[in-house]
Chains A and B, each alone.
Chain A
């Protein structure tokens, strides 16, 4: 039944080992997600450390991401949350200063293996960035961009579906061919989400997708994320505790220095964290 879970235990450090044990117990009685009781891990992280030149950004991280779940990553500014996301789809390849140690597996394949093409990998693992970054093209072309670069056929239906799922369709359906730069910040961010889901990736990485949004747009995006888990695995970085609590199945807490202090079911993290520092962080005592 719980092969992946055992793997988790085997590879965990002492600190998270405890929580992994708890997790196996809890899995059976939580019904937060739609899937069965046999979560498959999509991304497995083993002893991952990242350095920018001399400076360490991640410190020996072990963390598994389960299929069709929302995993939230929280922690104070500069603790390496974005770095972790950027390791998963190898965006850090573009940063010459970054060196990566340890192991990352995507559905069993070593992400940093010799044969893996980062471009092909990124086609499987989509990303929404911290700040909206639409292309200076039309709304339509933005959504179609991923399909075009992947040599897939672009149809109006795909574009429409993506925009609908990102809760943007109603607002833009009459101006699909105007520039995306004319949209508001919140609309741009939803466009970036539409752009990312249009290519139907396996995993979606979201780096503080709601950081620049008003409460209404934020709640639209939260609804969207919940909706997405029927098909996708989502990893979301957020500074908003309520948001993490509301939408995620599991939560990972990083603290300064790039250390993963606790990783568990969201309910556990928020109601009964094993580590004092996590409790302090969540209740706002530091960070």
Chain B
């Protein structure tokens, strides 16, 4: 007994390295959180640095009070008032639409709509907020303006005499007059015409875009009003109208105000809509006929920035610097608004005394505004992109019978059989998700040659494997985790950017060392390039060696362990020190399909083997792996036999075929009720294939669509609209978004974990955490153009990168989505019930163990949902890319992270400036549809994940 006690007593003591491990992890996570402050500081520094030089040339007073903005003319003038008033016009215009409509929709959804209606309408409205703004701009310019510009007969309508008497006499100073002039004497209603670029359609588009911000946030606030308050109202005999207007809305005031402020701040910072639709003529506003301002072209602050950024070869001129001055002004304005939002100023809202049904009808109408806008937007573009009217009736009948009918029948069946529905959803996710991801991976790999990633994959994947071995022999293998991340980063940098990123840095470090050690004979005489090589090796070998030494010193030194550890070190050093150069020539002897197969197939096979081993044991796992490899080889053999390049087929086999087979197999084996459901995606695919085959066979006239394989696979050669394709931009977009996700995801999730799980409420750390949270909220409200300025200052001015690199674009957008990722990951972590953490701590788990094995697995679906939505937003971002000079037209695909890229939204932007109808209403519409479909797919995936795991 007493002996037992002794061991227990000693084991109560703090274990040195558990403490150190916990501290290390906490610090790494805290670093992620603090990075967000660095982003803010970076923004402020980059803005104020250039702005200060600007104010050296132009006095701040002249800037702020000047009434003429013409930075690019021969006699430049830098008065910002016209720009501010332009911004104000658009903001006011959009507010007039969005604030009442958004609130009405929110009240309808929260107080009147059934939960089913709410479940459908709310996400539909939220789609409006996710549509790339360049598409809104295009929509406003090409569809909205002609719609608003009433044709001549309507514009000058003669009013019947009897009507004229019922019209009140409108005094001259009423702002409405010039817009809809009623010349009473002649009984003519005069509606002035609208210029091609005008503030009105831009305002409407901005208004539609921010409706969901108002409606979603307000709806959340309204739903958060406790039911007991409503019941109290009903208990006193109030009507629904009374309860909504006099109890619920006042109780939710602060939430509604916040939604207004956030929406307005978004409208102020909106760039692309205004760039595309409102033109670029800085103007002082006219008074008192305010409406006149809307019919003409204007220029906002954001437009001015884009104009300067896209003016060629400006260099460090005053005009260039003025961009930063505007940025600073914009930043200050939006920051103030966000600050106001956090102050939660409350106000009171008055409602017209409309009662009962009328009120409800108005609310429904408000909700419909958003939906109608959505339908119009998609409808117009859909028509122009696909040209559905040009197809023959036979074509419709054909696809009705091969695709629509079977799919509808199947959907009906699934509706009655929930198990089949789930199986259908899973199979569809595997088939279509696999298809999209495989194609994306193939495209990127083809652009950069798959050998580099293969080298990288081999070295990096050797690390977790070897750590598994390593972990058996070293107790504190925890150190290896962070060391591995470091090694991976080094490997990435080496593979993709050693020339641009790593070498200059190391040369600088070594040069500094050289200078310091100038007197030391040997070291001082090493040439810088050699020294750089030594440094790379030292880091790559040194970090894992330190980890090893650390563990060996603390733990029994079993011989096998040490051997294993050295094997690990050799491999990771091989990876990080860039034996790339050594391995790659060897690999390049292999046929190219094997490189594709390696990059996609190795991880897929590994994951599959692991999954099956977990579920059905080692043997089944191994069998599956062998089968998959065999299948891959068979695909290659068949493709070669019919003399096709096997690369794409191998990628599709591993990326789409294997997951599909897994999901289908699972369902067939173990899901008795739902197994029929897996047929869903195949019915769709089969329908399309059979339809397409019959269409050719029977030579049926299909629609004259602009969405063609050419569009997706051709380069933009600018000759004819039918030949033009967007392939380089598509490759660029995929690369930008994937590298952006690689950068923003770990940091964002790390910061969220720190804020939710580590940061205390009190003390200086608590205050720091509060500051970080406040800062994140503010960052989320900073307009995207301002992030563009950050990227410009950081990568082009400070690091001297070439303009418009894929890397700069990815990093800039990474900063942009960081706050969104953090906030959504925080939400997901908050949703994990505390009782689970308690249970884990109660079992003697440490904090990191609790997070890793209890909290994170629960939060992953939520984190993924938020991240995918953020990626969907980034895919359509345009303005920051223009600022960092990503080319809007490029004819070659980017060859890697450090080459100049392009992106689909930029393509839309530049093409929408082309007035030829086959561009305007053809190619651009088709591209917009492609982008929209991409974004919708991502939203759909996010929603599927959210619903699947919602408890």
Interface residues of A (CB under 8 A from B): 40, 89, 91, 94, 96, 106-109, 115-117, 119-124, 126-127, 129, 131, 133-137, 145-146, 148-150, 192, 195-196, 199, 202
| Cβ contact within 8 Å between B844 and A129 | no
* Chain B residues with CB below 8 A from A94, complex form: 837-838, 841
- Cβ–Cβ contact B842 & A150, under 8 A: no
Query: What is the minimal beta-carbon distance from A56 to any residue of chain B, in angstroms?
Result: 20
Task: Note all chain B residues with C-beta closer than 8 A to A199.
Answer: 843-844
B478 CB, min distance to chain A CBs, angstroms: 11
Main secondary structure of the interface of A (DSSP, over half): mixed
> A121's contact among B12, B839, B840, B849, by CB below 8 Å, is which?
B12
**Chain B residues within an 8 Å CB radius of A115:** 12-14
Q: When each residue 1-39 of chain B gets 1 if its CB lies under 8 Å from chain A and 0 otherwise, what string results?
A: 100010011011111001100000000000000000000
Known contacts A96-B762, A107-B8, A149-B849: A135-B838 contact under CB 8 Å: no
Q: How far is the CB of A50 from chain B (nearest CB, A)?
A: 17
Interface CB pairs A-B, < 8 A, 14:
A96-B762, A117-B12, A119-B844, A120-B13, A120-B15, A134-B839, A136-B836, A145-B840, A145-B843, A145-B845, A149-B840, A149-B845, A199-B843, A199-B844
- In Å, the complex CA distance between A18 and B833 comes to 45
A13 to chain B, nearest CB (A): 28
User: What are the residues of chain A within 8 A of B342 when measuring CB–CB?
Assistant: none
Interface residues of B (CB under 8 A from A): 1, 5, 8-9, 11-15, 18-19, 760-762, 833, 835-846, 849, 853-854, 857-858
Q: Which residues from B are CB-within-8-Å of A146?
A: 843-845
Contact A127 B14 (CB under 8 A): no
The answer to whether B844 touches A135 (Cβ under 8 A) is no
Is A96 a contact of B761 with CB atoms below 8 Å? yes
A117 & B8 in contact (Cβ 8 Å cutoff) = no
Q: Are A133 and B844 in contact (CB under 8 A)?
A: no
Please determine whether A91 and B838 come into contact, CB atoms closer than 8 angstroms: yes
> In angstroms, how far is the closest chain B Cβ from the Cβ of A152?
11
Q: How far is the CA of A129 from the CA of B842 in the complex (A)?
A: 9
Residues of chain A lying within 8 A (CB to CB) of residue B845: 119, 145-146, 149
| Residue from A96, A119, A148 in contact with B18 in the complex, judged by beta carbons closer than 8 Å | A119
Known: A107-B8, A117-B14, A202-B8. A136 touches B843 (CB 8 A): no
- Name B842's contact: one of A108, A127, A136 (CB within 8 Å): A127
A120 to B12, CA, bound (A): 5
List of A residues within 8 angstroms of B849 by Cβ: 149
Q: How far is the CB of A208 from chain B (nearest CB, A)?
A: 14
Which 8 pairs from chain A and chain B are nearest by CB? A123-B844, A117-B14, A127-B842, A133-B835, A149-B845, A146-B843, A122-B844, A133-B839
A180 to B13, CA, bound (A): 33
A116 x B13 contact (CB < 8 A): yes
**Contact indicator A149/B846 (Cβ below 8 Å):** yes
**Chain B residues within an 8 Å CB radius of A129:** 835, 838-839, 842
Contact yes or no, A126 B14, CB < 8 A = no
Interchain CB contact under 8 A, A109 and B838 = no
Cross-interface CB contact of A126 among B833, B842, B853, cutoff 8 Å: B842
* A17: min CB distance to chain B, Å: 28
Q: Which residues in B have their C-beta under 8 angstroms from that of A123?
A: 11, 844
**Chain A residues positioned under 8 Å from B19 (CB to CB):** 117
CB A93 to nearest CB in B, in angstroms, measures 9
Looking at A106, A120, A122, the one whose CB has the most chain B CB atoms below 10 A away is A120
**In the complex, which residues of chain A have a beta carbon less than 8 angstroms from the beta carbon of B838?**
91, 94, 129, 133
- Distance A124 CA – B840 CA, assembled complex (angstroms): 14
Closest chain-A Cβ to B669's Cβ sits at a distance in Å of 15
Known A-B contacts A94-B841, A129-B839, A135-B840; the reply to A117 vs B762 at CB < 8 A is no
Cβ of A108 and Cβ of B844 under 8 Å apart?
no
Quick one: closest B residue to A118, CB to CB? B841
Q: Is the CB of B842 within 8 A of A107?
A: no
B843 and A196 contact, CB distance less than 8 A: yes
Smallest Cβ-Cβ distance to A97: which chain B residue: B761
Q: How far is the CA of A129 from the CA of B835 in the complex (A)?
A: 9
Of A94, A96, A119, A123, the most chain B CB neighbours within 10 A belong to A119
In the bound complex, residues from chain A placing their C-beta under 8 Å from that of B833 are: 133
B853 lies within 8 A of A91 (CB): no
Q: Beyond the given A119-B844, A124-B11, could you list 20 further A-B residue pairs with CB under 8 A, ordered by the A residue number?
A: A91-B842, A96-B762, A107-B5, A107-B8, A108-B9, A117-B12, A117-B13, A119-B18, A120-B11, A120-B13, A122-B841, A122-B843, A122-B844, A129-B842, A136-B857, A145-B840, A146-B844, A149-B840, A149-B845, A199-B844
